[in-house]
C-alpha cells in the first residue's frame, strides 16, 4: 500500500520560514504562487524579460523579478516553466544564483529523470506534483479543499528535504486531499505513460477512430459527435466516482453487455503490446529525446502534428454543435478558429 500523507503529517511553519521563488506563472505557477501566498508564505515570482505573464502576477499583488534576481533572494526555488524550457532556464539563470543548502522544487520529474538538469550535491531536490491542472489546484484551494499531490525526494542534502516537501504540499492545499509518496522515476515514467497511452493519446485516437467509423458508414457527423465524444464526460464522471464498476452499474444492460463483448475486440491484446512499446520508449529516454530535440529545433514535428489534429473533421463539427448547447460553457478554443491557444 502506498504511503499517504495528510495535513496533520506536515508542519506549515517550515515553508513559512523560507523565501520561495516561483519560476513561471502559467498553469501550475499561478496556482502554487497564490496558494503559497494565501498560506502565509513569503513568495516572489521569477519571469523572463518581456514575459506575457508579468501583468497577471502583478495584478494579484505578487512581486515579479527576473528569474536570476528571484533565485538570488530565495532559498526555495520552484521550477514551473514548461518542461522543455526548464533546462536552459536552470543552466543560465537558476544554477549560477542558487545558494548552497537551498531547495529545488519540481511539479514533474522530467528534467531530473532524463538528466537535462543535474543539481549540485548541496541542495535539496523535491517534487510536489498535483494530480490535476493548475486552475483546479487554485480553485480547490480557494474553496477550502485541495487536489491530491504526489511527493518525492530525489536528493536530501540538508536532512530536511522530506519535511520541507510535505510542508510545501500542505501550503498549496494538496494534503487537504492527500499526498502519495513516490520517486522522481516512478512519477515521470507513469505520468508520461498515462497521458500517452490512455488519458490523452489513447482517448483522442479512440474518439477519432469511432467518429471516422460512423461517418464513413454514412451516419450524420453531428450524431456521431454525440455518441463518441460528447457522452464521454458522463461516462468518465461515473468511472471517477466509483470505478469502471459504477459505470457498468449505471448504463443499460445492453450497453454493459456490449462493453464486455466488444471492448476487448476493439482494444485487443495487440494494443497492450503497443502500450508496452510506448512504455519502453519512455523508460529508455527515447520519447524524451525526441520531444526535446524537436523543441530545440523550433518544434517542427510538434507544430505539424498539432495542425493535423486541429484539421480533423470532428473539431469543426464540435465547434458548430457546442454553440447550440445551452448547457456547455463556451470554450476559449472555440473562438479561435484553427488555434490551440
Ligand atoms: P505552462 O506552460 O503553463 O507555463 C508557462 C509559464 O512559464 C509562463 O508563465 C511562461 O511565461 C513561463 N515561461 C515559459 N518559458 C520560460 C522561460 N524560458 N523562462 C522563464 N519562464 C518561462 O507550464 P505548466 O504549468 O503546464 O507546467 C509547469 C510544470 O508543471 C511542468 O513541469 C509540468 O510538467 C508540471 N505540471 C503541469 C500540470 C498542468 O496541469 N499543466 C500538471 C502537473 C504538473 P511567459 O509569459 O514568459 O511565456
Ligand atoms: Mg504530464
Ligand atoms: Mg448511446
User: Which tens digits make up the pLDDT trace of 40-90?
Assistant: 999 999 999 999 999 999 999 999 999 999 999 999 999 999 999 999 999
Mean pLDDT of 242-258: 97
Based on the fold, state whether residues 196 and 162 are members of the same structural domain.
no
Helix H or strand E encompassing 252:
none
On the question of pLDDT at 336 being above 60, the answer is no
On the question of pLDDT at 259 being above 60, the answer is yes
Based on the fold, state whether residues 83 and 16 are members of the same structural domain.
yes
Atom of ligand 1 nearest to the CA of 51: 47
- Show the domain range for 69: 4-182
On the question of pLDDT at 288 being above 80, the answer is yes
Taking CB atoms and a 6 Å cutoff, what residues make up the pocket around ligand 1? Answer: 23-29, 47-48, 51-53, 67, 80-83, 85, 89, 107-108, 129-130, 133-134
Q: Is 227 annotated as a binding residue?
A: yes
Among 136, 161, 182, identify where a domain stops.
182
Give a three-class secondary structure readout of 172-205: CCHHHHCEEECCHHHHHHHHHHHHHHHHCHHHHH
pLDDT at residue number 325 = 77
Based on the fold, state whether residues 148 and 215 are members of the same structural domain.
no
Mean pLDDT of 176-197: 97
Give me 90's grid cell. 536552470
On the question of pLDDT at 37 being above 80, the answer is yes
Q: Report how far residue 110's alpha carbon sits from residue 154's, in angstroms, rounded to the nearest whole number.
A: 12
pLDDT at residue number 333 = 65
Q: Is 320 annotated as a binding residue?
A: no
Domain of 101: which CATH number? 3.40.50.720
Q: Is 52 inside any structural domain?
A: yes
Among 144, 160, 182, identify where a domain stops.
182
Question: pLDDT per residue over 203-212, tens digit each?
Answer: 999 999 999 9
pLDDT at residue number 341 = 30
On the question of pLDDT at 130 being above 90, the answer is yes
Based on the fold, state whether residues 221 and 108 are members of the same structural domain.
no
Q: How big is the CA angle at 93 (ends 91 and 96), to the nearest 5 degrees?
A: 75
pLDDT at residue number 321 = 93
Q: Report how far residue 4's alpha carbon sits from residue 83's, in angstroms, rounded to the nearest whole number.
A: 27
Based on the fold, state whether residues 13 and 111 are members of the same structural domain.
yes
pLDDT category of residue 335 using cuts at 50, 70 and 90:
low
Q: Do residues 184 and 152 touch, judged by C-beta distance below 8 A?
A: yes
- Give Cα separations from 107 to 67, 88, 128, 302 (angstroms): 18, 17, 5, 23
pLDDT at residue number 331 = 73
Please tell me the number of the ligand nearest to residue 187's CA.
2
Question: pLDDT per residue over 133-142, tens digit each?
Answer: 999 999 999 9
State the catalytic residue, choosing from 108, 135, 230, 312: 108
Q: Is 341 inside any structural domain?
A: no
Please tell me the number of the ligand nearest to residue 258's CA.
3
On the question of pLDDT at 337 being above 80, the answer is no
Give a three-class secondary structure readout of 46-99: EECCCCCCHHHHHHCCCCEEEHHHHHHHCCEEEECCCHHHHHHHHHHHHHHHCC
Query: Buried b / exposed e across 150-183, counting CB within 10 Å, b at 16+?
Result: bbbbbbbbeeebbbbbbbbbbbbbbbbbbbbbbe
Based on the fold, state whether residues 171 and 229 are members of the same structural domain.
no
On the question of pLDDT at 334 being above 80, the answer is no
pTM for the whole structure: 0.92
Domain count, the chain: 2
pLDDT at residue number 329 = 72
In the predicted model, what is the mean pLDDT of the chain? 95
Mean pLDDT of 115-125: 97
- ipTM exceeds 0.90: yes
Task: Compute the distance from residue 30 Cα to the ligand 1 centre, in Å.
Answer: 9
Among 182, 201, 230, identify where a domain stops.
182
- Eight-state DSSP code of residue 332: G
pLDDT category of residue 340 using cuts at 50, 70 and 90:
very low
Amino acid at each position: 500500500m502506498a504511503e499517504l500523507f495528510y495535513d496533520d503529517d506536515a508542519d506549515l511553519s517550515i515553508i513559512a520560514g523560507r523565501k520561495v521563488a516561483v519560476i513561471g506563472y502559467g498553469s501550475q505557477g499561478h496556482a502554487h504562487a497564490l496558494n503559497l501566498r494565501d498560506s502565509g508564505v513569503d513568495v516572489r515570482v521569477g519571469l523572463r524579460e518581456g514575459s506575457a505573464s508579468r501583468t497577471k502576477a502583478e495584478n494579484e499583488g505578487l512581486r515579479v523579478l527576473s528569474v536570476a534576481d528571484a533565485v538570488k533572494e530565495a532559498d526555495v526555488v520552484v521550477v514551473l516553466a514548461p518542461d522543455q524550457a526548464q533546462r536552459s532556464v536552470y543552466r543560465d539563470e537558476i544554477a549560477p544564483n542558487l545558494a548552497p543548502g537551498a531547495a529545488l522544487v519540481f511539479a514533474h520529474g522530467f528534467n531530473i529523470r532524463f538528466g537535462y538538469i543535474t543539481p549540485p550535491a548541496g541542495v535539496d531536490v523535491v517534487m510536489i506534483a498535483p494530480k490535476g491542472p493548475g486552475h483546479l489546484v487554485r480553485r480547490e484551494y480557494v474553496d477550502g479543499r485541495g487536489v491530491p499531490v504526489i511527493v518525492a525526494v530525489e536528493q536530501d542534502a540538508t536532512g530536511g528535504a522530506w519535511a520541507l516537501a510535505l510542508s510545501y504540499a500542505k501550503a498549496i492545499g494538496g494534503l487537504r486531499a492527500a499526498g502519495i509518496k513516490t520517486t522522481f522515476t516512478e512519477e515521470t515514467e507513469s505520468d508520461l505513460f498515462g497521458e500517452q497511452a490512455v488519458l490523452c493519446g489513447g482517448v483522442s485516437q479512440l474518439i477519432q477512430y469511432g467518429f471516422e467509423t460512423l461517418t464513413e458508414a454514412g451516419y450524420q457527423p453531428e450524431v456521431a459527435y454525440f455518441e463518441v465524444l460528447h457522452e464521454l464526460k458522463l461516462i468518465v464522471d461515473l468511472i471517477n466516482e466509483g470505478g469502471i464498476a459504477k459505470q457498468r452499474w449505471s448504463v443499460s444492460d445492453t450497453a454493459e453487455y456490449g462493453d464486455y463483448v466488444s471492448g476487448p475486440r476493439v482494444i485487443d491484446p495487440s494494443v497492450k503490446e503497443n502500450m508496452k512499446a510506448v512504455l519502453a520508449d519512455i523508460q529508455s529516454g527515447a520519447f524524451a529525446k525526441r520531444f526535446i530535440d524537436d523543441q530545440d529545433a523550433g518544434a517542427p514535428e510538434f507544430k505539424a502534428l498539432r495542425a493535423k489534429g486541429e484539421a480533423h473533421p470532428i473539431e469543426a463539427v464540435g465547434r458548430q454543435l457546442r454553440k447550440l448547447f445551452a448547457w456547455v460553457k463556451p470554450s476559449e478554443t472555440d473562438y479561435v478558429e484553427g488555434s490551440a491557444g
